[in-house]
A and B are shown apart, each in its own frame.
Chain A
Amino acid sequence: MIRQAILSAAVALFGLWSGLSHAQWTPDIEAWNSPQPEQVDAVVFRNATVWTADEAGVLENTDLLVRNGRIEAIGSELRAPRDAMEIDATGMHLTPGIIDAHSHSAILGGVNEASRISTADVRIRDVIDPESINIYRQLAGGVTAINLLHGSANAIGGQMAVIKMRWGAEPDELVIDTAPPGIKFALGENPKQSNWSNDTPRYPRTRQGVAQIIREKFQQAADYQRAMDDAPRGRAARDRVPPRPDHELEAIAEIINGERDVHSHAYRADEMLALMRIAEDFDFTIRTFQHVLEGYKIAPQMAEHGVGGSTFIDWWAFKYEARDAIAFNPALMNESGVLTGLHSDDSELARRMNLEAAKAVRYGGVDEHEALMMITANPARQLGIGDRTGRLAEGLDADLVLWNGHPLSVYSRVEQTWVDGRRYFDREADQRMREALAAEREQLMALVLAEGEASDSDEGASTDADDAPELLAQHPAHASYLTGYRPSELAYDEFCHAHEH
């Protein structure tokens, strides 16, 4: 009876919202309950300060025209189609959407498959949670694309997924289909299990061991590839047992063949040098080091190898191997010609990556526009999606953020976040959502209380269930024992840093 009443109330409210036009789009905290924002045919932002994260630099008093999800033109006093949505951005700043190259924010199930030293066969793509509230909250911080990675418990982790923040779409629809395949590696304290114990004793225990097991896996994969290539085909294959397919070695072989990029968790200079040399022996390039805390110590070698650096700006001292992490690391890597980006690795930090970029100005005097590139264009290039997103330039996807002030200022807020020309976050709509939710809560509470009274008089006896409404009525918004979070929304890499979330 209660459930019925709640359901009908929810349906009634949902009906009310879905009837609104796109100009009045109102999100819900439940992605499935929220219509996808419409892709507007044409939108023109007028008179903004446009940070292109591209060669054009920062453009004052500039218009930007979006058509059918792509950026069509950037310039002054642009002519727009008659029916275009006009957004007055006077006094506001427009930047590319933020790209986070290291995230565990929307993953169903365990982030870590810690059982084996190599789990190259498992795929994040199979466990994307497209309805995670983290996606919405990160949109509210200007994030438009993230790289979902496995944890760092094993030297060779799983296959990653680069997604756009198309909150509430089908899991496969979030995946950026043009992103090159990638895989997570991990070096140092985590794969060697310095700070945790495994029920089943597992090799290795040292950094040498981590390097060695990776080398052996590459050798096995190369042998596997040769066996596959040499296996007879067609008529010659008759009466012959073909090589046994092995999904793990297949994924590793793809690395050697240049078909899969390695993004390796790494802290110390020694372990990064070792992995670069292994890669060179097998004739491929490591795509990025993730965290790369001592990258500044080997920045010239990194530049020579061609590996990118994707780092925290100032996390340090949480583990022994993070002792020498310095906030000047991005500035030093950048100066040495390493493609440098900043990542979050944390669902909360991901909401304010603009301030992490601001710290690159503080520590080492990186130019403001270049600092912004460290959270937009550079991570996009590291993930191989730089030709689609990460900059404001004609022909690129309309993934952009409207700020109410300087995008690196602590006093600025995100006003709107657009993905593929769809307005996925809008502060005004968010305010409407709060009002709608408050109204809904009040209605439901009234129904629940009425129902509680009715059943009290029906049955005479009080039950635990009957006590609950009373408690809720006392603290309507904050039922103490429920936070509503789903496990996937609290997922993180528990081996990555020792502090609690």
Chain B
Amino acid sequence: MNTKIQATLAATLLASTLLAAPASAEVLALTGATVHPVSSDPIPDGTVLIEDGRITAVGSDIVAPPGARIIDLDGLHLYPGFVHPASQLGLREINSVAGTIDTAEMGSVNAALRAEVAFNHDSMLLPASVAGGILSAHVVPGGGLIQGSSAVLELDGWSWEEMVLKAPVGMHMEFPPAAVDDENNEDLARIEQVLDQARHHLRASEAARAGTAPAPMRNDQLEALAPLLRGEQPLFIRANRYDVIEKALDWAQDQGFEDLVLMTSPDVQYLAERLARDGIPVILQNVYALPSRRWEPYDMAFVAAARLAEAGVQFAISDDGNDAANARNLPFQAGTAAAHGLDKLSALRSVTLWPAQILGLGDELGSIEVGKRASLFAASGDPLEPMTRIERVWIAGAEYDLMRDPGRRAYERYRERNRQAQGR
């Protein structure tokens, strides 16, 4: 066998072992790294065992079983993948090209829309996000008043169907800002009207099931609201301005929605006490925002997360969701919150464990713990630091080829080409 063929064969073998999902019987042992479970203290020189896509052991004195494939990560740091709390990844590709945007449907009531069915599993933005440590995302709809349901997807797979971890996660609603000082606001009236219709429809359907009434006409929009009205699904309510948030919370409570998640802006800090008291979790959309008002302190948005933490609010840090291409910058938003008063561990949890818990996936994602999905990455250091490099990634136990990131691919191609052009 000539050496060229040998090299090619070796490369092929290497690639196939790197890329193939581990056989179900195979045990993967990640050793030597400092393991950051996030839910507990870091473990220097720790070991993580992975079997069947799940974490089966974590600790410093774990012995890999015979036959386990051992991957030495000496000098690196293992973290659970970031869980993006609210993104439009998969629904949005090139912002200025309308044909690539599936974020906002026409009309004001779209309860029956499901975000996951338009999730482009081969979006070029996904490998870039994964290379930044974002391994799962809560994909949320936008536009209109009642916006449809969201889904959490893992960012690797051959179709959206196999990437969905949970769908629907909840019903999404934009609270109309004008309703704050207008008792006859048309948008809010429309929302209430639809909810009333859905309640009637639900009662009629239940009566039909009990055999006491004929079945009502099918109506997807109204039926999609049934899980919310039965209290089986949370309402994600979006409100940004201080007074709109307050009004939205009053309204949701009047409507009897107990399972609420507030998606909001840094203004939420002014309502921290109330949110803590009422036990309403918050998705803080954007630390990187200018102050809402001219006279507010320059760091008003930077300190919002620390204010929520001080008051005891359950929260996750998100970007504003519109810039899906830079979902990879999510951890830095948490880092900046830490520069301005949030403790570092809380900052890390706000983009891992806490979003997982708020999204109802606290047993699956967000920390390196036995039983959870083996979706984690090895980094050169603290992953909230922009200087840190993410070196290797596993999603559900399978190593992800980071060269799928278009940026890394172009980098390798053009670095070589530029060197040749300079005669080096």
The answer to whether A480 and B386 touch across the interface, beta carbons within 8 angstroms, is: no
Count of chain A residues near B, Cβ 8 A: 67
A348 at the interface (CB under 8 A from B): yes
B340 at the interface (CB under 8 A from A): yes
The answer to whether B94 and A412 touch across the interface, beta carbons within 8 angstroms, is: no
8 Å CB contact of B95 from A133, A319, A326, A337 = A319
The answer to whether A335 and B415 touch across the interface, beta carbons within 8 angstroms, is: yes
CA distance A320 to B291 in the complex (A): 31
Q: Which of B290, B292, B415 has the most CB of A within 10 A?
A: B290
> Measured between C-beta atoms, what is the minimum distance from B265 to chain A in Å?
12
A14 at the interface (CB under 8 A from B): no
- Chain B, residues 389-423, CB within 8 Å of chain A (1/0): the string is 10000000000000000111011001100100110
Which chain A residues lie closer than 8 Å to B363 at the CB level?
none
Which chain A residues lie closer than 8 Å to B253 at the CB level?
none
The answer to whether B410 and A140 touch across the interface, beta carbons within 8 angstroms, is: no
19 pairs from A and B in contact (CB 8 Å cutoff): A140-B298, A189-B96, A297-B414, A300-B422, A317-B324, A318-B96, A319-B94, A322-B94, A323-B94, A324-B406, A332-B414, A361-B386, A362-B389, A411-B339, A437-B295, A478-B242, A478-B270, A478-B293, A480-B242
**Extra inter-chain contacts (11) besides given A319-B96, A362-B386, A499-B323, CB under 8 Å:** A133-B294, A137-B291, A140-B298, A317-B94, A320-B96, A332-B418, A348-B290, A410-B332, A434-B297, A475-B243, A485-B293
A interface majority secondary structure:
loop
Chain B positions 48-87 with a Cβ under 8 Å from a chain A Cβ: none
The answer to whether B323 and A300 touch across the interface, beta carbons within 8 angstroms, is: no
> Measured between C-beta atoms, what is the minimum distance from B184 to chain A in Å?
18
Residue of A nearest to B386 (CB): A358
8 Å CB contact of A478 from B181, B243, B322 = B243
> Measured between C-beta atoms, what is the minimum distance from A14 to chain B in Å?
15
> Measured between C-beta atoms, what is the minimum distance from B131 to chain A in Å?
10
- Chain B, residues 114-147, CB within 8 Å of chain A (1/0): the string is 0000000000110000000000000000000000
Chain A positions 75-133 with a Cβ under 8 Å from a chain B Cβ: 133
Which chain B residues lie closer than 8 Å to A324 at the CB level?
406, 410
CA distance A412 to B385 in the complex (A): 10
B20 at the interface (CB under 8 A from A): no
- Chain B, residues 267-293, CB within 8 Å of chain A (1/0): the string is 100100000000000000000111111
Which chain A residues lie closer than 8 Å to B338 at the CB level?
410-411
CA distance A121 to B185 in the complex (A): 49
The answer to whether A408 and B418 touch across the interface, beta carbons within 8 angstroms, is: no
A243 at the interface (CB under 8 A from B): no
CA distance A144 to B387 in the complex (A): 23
CA distance A500 to B320 in the complex (A): 11
> Measured between C-beta atoms, what is the minimum distance from B174 to chain A in Å?
15
> Measured between C-beta atoms, what is the minimum distance from A373 to chain B in Å?
15
Q: A335-B418, A362-B386 are in contact. Are A351 and B293 (CB under 8 A)?
A: no
Which chain B residues lie closer than 8 Å to A25 at the CB level?
none
The answer to whether B93 and A317 touch across the interface, beta carbons within 8 angstroms, is: yes
The answer to whether A315 and B411 touch across the interface, beta carbons within 8 angstroms, is: no
The answer to whether B387 and A409 touch across the interface, beta carbons within 8 angstroms, is: yes
B299 at the interface (CB under 8 A from A): yes
A457 at the interface (CB under 8 A from B): no
Which chain B residues lie closer than 8 Å to A318 at the CB level?
94-96, 323, 325
Q: Which of B95, B243, B408 has the most CB of A within 10 A?
A: B95
**9 A-B pairs with least C-beta separation:** A410-B335, A484-B294, A317-B325, A358-B386, A328-B411, A326-B407, A300-B421, A498-B96, A480-B243
A363 at the interface (CB under 8 A from B): yes
Q: Which of B125, B295, B296, B336 has the most CB of A within 10 A?
A: B295
Residue of A nearest to B423 (CB): A300
Residue of A nearest to B328 (CB): A314
Residue of A nearest to B301 (CB): A348
Q: A408-B386, A478-B243 are in contact. Are A347 and B290 (CB under 8 A)?
A: yes
B329 at the interface (CB under 8 A from A): yes
Q: Which of B336, B340, B387, B415 has the most CB of A within 10 A?
A: B387
The answer to whether B386 and A499 touch across the interface, beta carbons within 8 angstroms, is: no
Which chain B residues lie closer than 8 Å to A486 at the CB level?
294
A64 at the interface (CB under 8 A from B): no
CA distance A500 to B322 in the complex (A): 9
CA distance A62 to B408 in the complex (A): 39
The answer to whether B326 and A314 touch across the interface, beta carbons within 8 angstroms, is: yes
Which chain A residues lie closer than 8 Å to B410 at the CB level?
296, 324, 326, 328
CA distance A254 to B189 in the complex (A): 62
B163 at the interface (CB under 8 A from A): no
> Measured between C-beta atoms, what is the minimum distance from B239 to chain A in Å?
12
The answer to whether B386 and A410 touch across the interface, beta carbons within 8 angstroms, is: yes
A316 at the interface (CB under 8 A from B): yes
Which chain B residues lie closer than 8 Å to A349 at the CB level?
288
A198 at the interface (CB under 8 A from B): no
Residue of A nearest to B414 (CB): A296
A180 at the interface (CB under 8 A from B): no
Which chain A residues lie closer than 8 Å to B14 at the CB level?
none
The answer to whether A499 and B388 touch across the interface, beta carbons within 8 angstroms, is: no
The answer to whether B332 and A480 touch across the interface, beta carbons within 8 angstroms, is: no
Residue of B nearest to A325 (CB): B407
The answer to whether B298 and A137 touch across the interface, beta carbons within 8 angstroms, is: yes
The answer to whether B418 and A355 touch across the interface, beta carbons within 8 angstroms, is: no
CA distance A335 to B325 in the complex (A): 26
Chain B positions 351-388 with a Cβ under 8 Å from a chain A Cβ: 384-388
A167 at the interface (CB under 8 A from B): no
Which chain B residues lie closer than 8 Å to A140 at the CB level?
298-299
- Chain B, residues 300-332, CB within 8 Å of chain A (1/0): the string is 000000000000000000000011111011001
Residue of A nearest to B244 (CB): A480
Which chain B residues lie closer than 8 Å to A475 at the CB level?
242-243, 270
8 Å CB contact of B332 from A355, A368, A413 = A355
Q: A332-B415, A358-B387, A430-B298 are in contact. Are A411 and B406 (CB under 8 A)?
A: no
CA distance A500 to B291 in the complex (A): 16
8 Å CB contact of A348 from B243, B288, B344 = B288
- Chain A, residues 346-359, CB within 8 Å of chain B (1/0): the string is 01110110010011
A224 at the interface (CB under 8 A from B): no
B241 at the interface (CB under 8 A from A): yes
B97 at the interface (CB under 8 A from A): yes
Which chain B residues lie closer than 8 Å to A137 at the CB level?
290-291, 298
> Measured between C-beta atoms, what is the minimum distance from A146 to chain B in Å?
16
A16 at the interface (CB under 8 A from B): no
B180 at the interface (CB under 8 A from A): yes
- Chain B, residues 3-25, CB within 8 Å of chain A (1/0): the string is 00000000000000000000000
